[in-house]
Amino acid sequence: MKHFKKILILLFVLSTHIFAQKSKTDSLQKGKALKPKLQSLIIPASLITYGIVGLESHQLKFLNADIKNELSEHIDTKFTIDDVSQYSPFLSVYALNALGVEGKHNFKDRTIILGTAYLIMGATVNTIKKTSNVERPDGSSNNSFPSGHTATAFMGAEFLFQEYRDISPWYGVMGYAVATGTGFFRMYNDRHWLTDVAAGAGIGILSTKIAYWVHPYIKNAFFKDRKTADGMVAPFYNGKQMGLGISMSF
Model confidence pLDDT, tens digit, residues 169-227? 899 999 999 999 999 999 999 999 999 999 999 999 999 999 999 999 998 888 776 55
State the pTM of this model. 0.83
Q: Could you tell me what percentage of the chain is helix, strand and coil, using 3-state DSSP and rounding each to the nearest 5?
A: 65, 5, 30
What domains, with CATH codes, occur in the chain?
A: 39-226 (1.20.144)
Model confidence pLDDT, tens digit, residues 3-61? 555 555 555 555 555 555 654 444 444 444 456 677 888 999 999 999 999 999 999 99
Contact 162, 13 (CB under 8 A): no
Q: What are phi and psi of 247, to 5 degrees?
A: -125, 125
Positive/negative CA dihedral, 127, 181, 159, 86: positive
Q: What length is written for the chain?
A: 250
pLDDT tier, 1 (very low <50, low <70, confident <90, very high otherwise): low
Residues 151, 205: Cα–Cα separation, whole Å: 8
Whether the pLDDT of residue 65 is over 50: the answer is yes
Q: Residue 85 corresponds to which amino acid?
A: S
pLDDT of 78:
76
